[in-house]
Amino acid sequence: MKIIHCSDIHLDSKMETNLSPIKAKERKQEILNTFERMVGYAAENDVQAIIIAGDLFDSTRITNSTKSRVLNTISKNKNIEFLYLCGNHDENNFISLLEDRPSNLCVFDKKWTTFEVGNVKISGIAMDESNCNSIYDSLNLNADDKNIVVLHGQISNYNNNENAENINLSKLKNKNIDYLALGHIHEYVQDNLDKRGIYCYCGCLEGRGFDECGEKGFVLLEIDDKSIKPEFVSFAKRKLVELDFDITGFDNWFDIEEAIVAQSKTISKDNLLKVVLKGRYEINLDKHIEMLEQKLENFYFAKVKDESLLTVKPQDVENDISLRGEFIRKVLQSNLTEQEKEKTILVGLKSLLGEDL
């Protein structure tokens, strides 16, 4: 038997932090398409159930078109059971409030609810402030059953935990759990829960920002009489890629551009790219950040963040009789910290050159 574990899809997320309004709208549509593609994958591969471990939607404000497409996708795949748990982003959304749900849509409540799929019992609970401390004592699973537990939250090991978004793993040990299906963390994480079971964050289906770089997708569970075997399936249409580039030792900006463009050729142009400049540079290096971004325009999206640090030595400006030289010497002789000196010099040089601060 096969079951999919997915989470944190965040349908109808605004997507406007990095993208233009046109591309933000396109990415919103692509994330919805990826959800539908995943369901199509499930249908083609005889998957019996899809566990959605929270945050299917980004908020309670959902467009009518998204509502209808999600319900249509669920309704037309009658052979797949959809087991849905509300997360912190989509609590009390339209699915949990539906009076007439599709017959194959099961929703976990704020008390432990168990659904049977084949020979597997899947138990879940929507955590809030009223139950976050009592869920551990009220979870009772039969040792002879094959048990999957579904929760949405951040792993914590505090004994007195009053945060509804925290999950105390130590209190879930030796509870006869074979697989703990978690949501909330947007990257794939898997480890042992105890001698019997494992816990797993499947991550999100599509990265939405550069804090969600790397492979994204879902977990496919292969289940037989003896075990539950999880496999991460990379499934995103686009990846978010961060490329760190150390400019230390470069004295020519165009050599930096050439090296970055060369490195970027190994990255698919369908992806979103963020180049981060690292290291230290000398005062005479003239940067052209916007020009570099233009040279990366063939990517779906690209931006450059400059985290490099300026190296200024007194001997660099001791013979400079210009206003620039006098300004830098004054700053170097001041009582500012090294970081404050660096920042002051950079702002001053931009001002002297008439550039935007």
pLDDT digits (tens, 9 = 90+) for 293-309: 999 999 999 999 999 98
> Model's pTM, two decimal places?
0.89
Q: Identify the pLDDT of residue 162.
A: 59
Reply yes or no on whether the pLDDT at 91 is more than 80.
Answer: no
Reply yes or no on whether the pLDDT at 342 is more than 70.
Answer: yes
Distance from C-alpha of 51 to C-alpha of 181, rounded to nearest angstrom: 8
Mean pLDDT of 60-77: 93
Q: Identify the pLDDT of residue 158.
A: 59
Q: Identify the pLDDT of residue 155.
A: 93
Q: Identify the pLDDT of residue 28.
A: 96
Asked if residues 248 and 281 have their Cβ atoms less than 8 Å apart, the reply is: yes
Conformational region of residue 153, where left means phi above 0, alpha means psi within -120 to 50, and beta covers everything else: left
Reply yes or no on whether the pLDDT at 36 is more than 60.
Answer: yes
Higher pLDDT, 171 or 226: 171
- Specify the DSSP element, H or E, that contains 241: strand 240-246
Ranges 13-27, 51-65, 196-210, 315-329, most confident:
196-210
Reply yes or no on whether the pLDDT at 357 is more than 80.
Answer: no
- Report percent pLDDT > 70 for the chain: 96
Distance from C-alpha of 256 to C-alpha of 282, rounded to nearest angstrom: 13
Cβ burial, residue 182 (10 Å; 0-12/13-18/19+): buried
Core vs surface per residue 87-108: b (16+ CB within 10 A) or e: bbbbbebebbeeeebbebbbbb
Count of CB atoms situated within 10 Å of the CB of 267 = 16
Using alpha carbons only, give the angle 176, 180, 186 rounded to the nearest 5 degrees: 170
**Domains identified in the chain and CATH numbers:** 2-234 (3.60.21.10), 239-311 (3.30.110), 313-357 (no CATH)
* Measured distance between the N- and C-terminal CA atoms of the chain, rounded to whole angstroms: 60
Q: Identify the pLDDT of residue 355.
A: 59
Nearest to 202 by CA among 239, 227, 231: 231
Kindly give the interhelix angle for 338-352 and 323-332, rounded to the nearest 10 degrees. 170
Q: Report residue 119 as tokens.
A: 């020979």
- Report percent pLDDT > 90 for the chain: 74
Residue 353's pLDDT band (boundaries 50, 70, 90)?
low
